[in-house]
Chain A
Amino acid sequence: MRLSVPSKIPGLPVLAIVLLLVPIVLNDEFYLDIATQVALIAATVVGLNLLVGYAGQVSLGHAAFFALGAYGSAILTGTYGWTPVPALLCAALLVATLAWLVGRPILRLKGHYLSMATLGLGIIIAIIINNEGWLTGGPDGIPVAPFSVMGFELSIFDEYQVLGMTVSGALAWYALAGVLLLLAVWIAQNLIDSPIGRALRAVRGSEVAARVVGVDTSHYKLLIFVISAVYASLMGSFFAHYTGFITPQLATFEHSIELITIVVLGGMGSTYGVIIGAVLLLLLPQLLTDFHEYEMMMFGLILMLTMIFMPRGLLPTLSGLLQRSWPRRVRSSGQED
C-alpha cells in the first residue's frame, strides 16, 4: 500500500504556518488553552500512528503509557521534589522499559497479539493508579507543579517578558506545545523515511514477504512500539504539567480507544491526517455542548461514517479525491492502492 504523505518537505512548513496562525486568528486565552491541549494530544497520536499506521500493530493501552508519563512527572516532582525535566525523562525511561518487556515476547508472534497484551497492561495500570492512593492520590486525582527548566517556571497563570513584549503564560505554553508537535512530526517523518520506516511498511504489507527478504520484523516492530510508547509518556508528562491536575481517568480504556479513534479517523499512516483527527475529535465536546447527551452518539456516527465512506481516514481520502479531480496533479508513480 502506498501511503499518502509524499515527503517531509512540504508538510512541516505548512504545519508551522498553521501553528503560527492560530494565536493570531484566535488571540484569546480560552482558544489557546484548547489549542495547547490539541497540540499535545496530536503529538501523542503522531507517535501512536507510527505503530498503527506503519507497523500495523494496534495498541489498546496507549492511554496507560500517557498516564504513566503524567503520573511519573506528578509523583517525582511533587512527592520527591525532582525538577520536571529529569522527572519526565525518568518516566519515559520507565515506560520504554515496560513497553520493551511487554513487547519483546509478544511481537515475536505474528498477528494482533499486541492488542490483547496492551489491553491487559492498560487495565492493570489503571487499577494500580486507582488503588495506590498513598502514591497517586487515588480516584480523586493529584495536583501537578508547573513545568520549569533550570529554575525558570512556565505557568499558564504568569506573564513573561520576551524581547520587551509581555507574553501570557497561555501563549508561552501554546508555543511550547507547538514546538513539541513540530518536533514530534519531524522525528516521525524522519523515522518513516529511514530504513526503519521502509522495513516497517514491508512488515505491514506482508510480514512473511518482509522476512523472506531479510527484514528482522520482530526487532523493528518492537523498536517502533517502544518509540510510540515514549511519545505517549513524554506528552503525558507535558499534559500533566500543563493542566496542573490529573486523575486516573487518563489511564482508562476509554481514553485508549479515543486515541485509536483519532488515528482511524484522521487516517492510519498519515501523520498530518492524524493531527487533523486530533483537532476534530478534541473540539467535538466543545462544539457539541448543547447536545452533550448525544456526544457519544456523534462519536460513533462519525467513526461509522468514516469507516463506510472513507475507510482510509479523512486526510488520505480527501487528498485522493482532490488529486483525482485535478488530473494534472496525479504523479506518474501509482497512487491507487
Chain B
Amino acid sequence: MNKKSLLRGLAAVTTLLALALAGPAPASDEPIRIGAFVSATGPASFLGDPELKTLEMYVERINEQGGVLGRPLHLVHYDDGGSASEARNFANRLLRRDRVDVLIGGSTTGTTLAAVPLAQRARTPMISMAGALTIVEPVNPWVFKTPQSDRMAAERVLADMQDRGITRIGLISGTDGFGRSGREQTLEVAEQFGIEVVADQTYGPQDTDMTSQLTRIRTTEGVEAVFNFGFGQGPAIVTRNYAHLDIDLPLYQSHGVASDRFLDLAGSAAEGVRLPASALLVPDALPDEDPQKPVVQGYKQAYEARWNTSVSTFGGYAYDALHLAVHAIEQAGSTDPKAIREALESIQGFVGVTGVFSMAPEDHNGLEPESFRLLEVRDGGWVLIH
C-alpha cells in the first residue's frame, strides 16, 4: 500500500461523505418543520412505534385541514432504536441540518436527556414523551414533557391505599429503567401517605418466574398490599404467580402495564388488580362532563381505524406533544422559537389525551396526579373506580 492509493481511498471516502450527507437546504417561509426522534425499533419500540404512527397520522390530518398558520406541517423523523448516542446524533441532525422549528422526542428518559443540551443550545423548544421527573425538574426553559412522571403514578396508587386504610406494603419492581425509577419514587413518597414499605423485592426484565420474590413478600409480617412497578411481560408474570400462590392481598400495578395486552398476558389472574392509567383505556366509561372524553374517544377511533391495531397510552403522549406544539405555534402566531417556548409555557387548560395541561414557568409537565384514572380489572375488562 502506498501513499497515492491511500490518498485516493481517503479522498473517495471524504467525497462520499460530503455527497451523502448533504440534505436539501431548508427554505424559508415554507412548511413548518416538526422534528421527531423516537425509538420506533429496538427494545423501546413499544413506545416509539405508536408514537411515530400517531405523529404521521396527525400531521397528515392537520395538513388536510389547512395546516397551521396557513402553512403545512412537515414531519422529519428518525428512529434512534432506543440508543441514547444515536438519539443525540439525530437530535443534532434535526436541529442543525433539518433546522426544525420544534423538536419532539425522545421516547425514553435516556434518549431525551442525551438530546436536552443540544435543544437548549440550539434554542429550540423540545417536547419529550418520556416519564422520568428529572427531565423537567429542575426546569430547563426549552424542555417540556407530556407523560405524567413516575412519582405521580406512585402518588396515585399510595393515595388509594391510604383510602383503604393500608399502612404496610410490599414493593416488587423490575430492574429496568422504568421499574428502578418507579421504585425510588415510591420509596421517597410513601412516608407522606403514612405508608411503610416493609418488603422490597426486584426482578430482572427477562425473568420468567417471580414466585420466590412474592413468597418472600408474603412471609414478611404485616404486609397489607403489594405494589408492582414495572413494564413489559414482568408484571404479567407477577400477576400470574400472585394468583398461583393465592395471595389474598390487594395487588397494584403501575401505569407501565396500562394496555389491553396486559389483560391478554395475565388472563384471569388479573381480576381485582388495580392500577393508575390514562383515560385512554376507558374512553366510554368516562362521565359525559369529563372534558377529556371527546378527545380520548376521537383519538382512539381515529388511530384504530387508521392502523388497525389497538391504541396505546404511549401514542397518546405523541398526540399531546404534537398538539401542544401546534397550539403553541398558533398562539405565538409565528415559528419564532422564543415565542413558541413562551406560548408553550403559558398553555392553560389544554385538553389532551393524557390529561389537561396547565403549564407554568416552574412546571413544564403541567399535569396533576388526578390525570391518572384509577382502574380495576373486572371480568376481563377495565372498570373506572371513584
Quick check: is A164 within 8 A (CB to CB) of the other chain? no
Tell me the complex Cα distance, A133–B183, Å.
12
The residue of chain A having its C-beta at the shortest distance from the C-beta of B86 within the complex is A285
Count of chain B residues with a beta carbon within 8 Å of a chain A beta carbon? 47
CB <8 Å contact, A292 and B84: no
Quick check: is A106 within 8 A (CB to CB) of the other chain? no
Binds A, one of B3-11, B185-193, B257-265, B277-285: B3-11
CB <8 Å contact, B14 and A140: no
Contacts of B86 in A (CB 8 A): 285
Tell me the complex Cα distance, A133–B20, Å.
40
Quick check: is A249 within 8 A (CB to CB) of the other chain? yes
Quick check: is B233 within 8 A (CB to CB) of the other chain? no
A34 in contact with B89 given A21-B14, A157-B117, A245-B117 (CB within 8 Å): yes
Tell me the complex Cα distance, A287–B134, Å.
32
Q: B98 CB to closest chain A CB, in angstroms?
A: 9
Tell me the complex Cα distance, A18–B17, Å.
13
CB <8 Å contact, B96 and A28: yes
Contacts of B117 in A (CB 8 A): 157, 244-245
CB <8 Å contact, B1 and A319: yes
Residue of B6, B81, B134, B177 contacting most chain A CB atoms (<10 Å):
B6
Quick check: is B114 within 8 A (CB to CB) of the other chain? yes
Residue of A15, A133, A323 contacting most chain B CB atoms (<10 Å):
A133
Contacts of B121 in A (CB 8 A): 156-157
Q: A132 CB to closest chain B CB, in angstroms?
A: 11
Contacts of B6 in A (CB 8 A): 10-11, 14, 272, 319
A138 in contact with B7 given A280-B13, A319-B1 (CB within 8 Å): no
Quick check: is B172 within 8 A (CB to CB) of the other chain? no
The residue of chain B having its C-beta at the shortest distance from the C-beta of A30 within the complex is B96
CB <8 Å contact, B110 and A139: yes
**Interface 0/1 of A274-302, CB less than 8 Å to B:** 00100110010111010011010000000
Quick check: is A83 within 8 A (CB to CB) of the other chain? no
A292 in contact with B2 given A25-B14, A138-B180 (CB within 8 Å): no
Give chain B interface residues in 117-143, CB to chain A under 8 Å: 117, 121, 132, 134
Give chain A interface residues in 46-60, CB to chain B under 8 Å: none
Contacts of B176 in A (CB 8 A): 139
Quick check: is A131 within 8 A (CB to CB) of the other chain? yes
**Interface 0/1 of B176-214, CB less than 8 Å to A:** 110011001000000000000000000000000000000
Give the bracket for the number of chain A residues in contact with chain B: 35 or more
A143 in contact with B41 given A21-B14, A22-B14, A280-B13 (CB within 8 Å): no
Contacts of B132 in A (CB 8 A): 140
Tell me the complex Cα distance, A276–B9, Å.
9
Quick check: is B310 within 8 A (CB to CB) of the other chain? no
Contacts of B108 in A (CB 8 A): 140
CB <8 Å contact, B113 and A292: no
A contact face: mostly helix, strand, loop, or mixed? helix
CB <8 Å contact, A286 and B88: no
Give the residue of A21, A243, A329 whose beta carbon is less than 8 angstroms from that of B85.
A243
**Interface 0/1 of B147-180, CB less than 8 Å to A:** 0000000000000000000000000000111001
Contacts of A245 in B (CB 8 A): 84, 88, 113-114, 116-117
Quick check: is B79 within 8 A (CB to CB) of the other chain? yes
CB <8 Å contact, B17 and A329: no
CB <8 Å contact, A243 and B114: yes
Residue of A37, A246, A247 contacting most chain B CB atoms (<10 Å):
A247
Quick check: is A6 within 8 A (CB to CB) of the other chain? yes
Quick check: is B268 within 8 A (CB to CB) of the other chain? no
Contacts of B10 in A (CB 8 A): 14-15, 18, 276
Tell me the complex Cα distance, A256–B18, Å.
28
Tell me the complex Cα distance, A206–B1, Å.
25
A292 in contact with B79 given A133-B180, A244-B117 (CB within 8 Å): yes
Quick check: is B83 within 8 A (CB to CB) of the other chain? yes
CB <8 Å contact, A130 and B114: no
**Interface 0/1 of A13-32, CB less than 8 Å to B:** 01101100110011011110
The residue of chain A having its C-beta at the shortest distance from the C-beta of B88 within the complex is A243
Residue of B2, B108, B116 contacting most chain A CB atoms (<10 Å):
B2
A interface, CB within 8 angstroms of B: 4-6, 10-11, 14-15, 17-18, 21-22, 25-26, 28-31, 33-34, 37, 130-131, 133, 138-141, 143, 156-157, 243-247, 249-250, 270, 272, 276, 279-280, 283, 285-287, 289, 292-293, 295, 315-316, 318-319, 322-323, 329
Q: A247-B84, A323-B1 are in contact. List 18 more A-B contacts (CB 8 A).
A: A11-B3, A11-B6, A26-B17, A29-B96, A140-B113, A143-B113, A245-B88, A247-B85, A250-B85, A270-B1, A272-B6, A283-B17, A286-B89, A286-B93, A289-B78, A318-B5, A319-B2, A322-B5
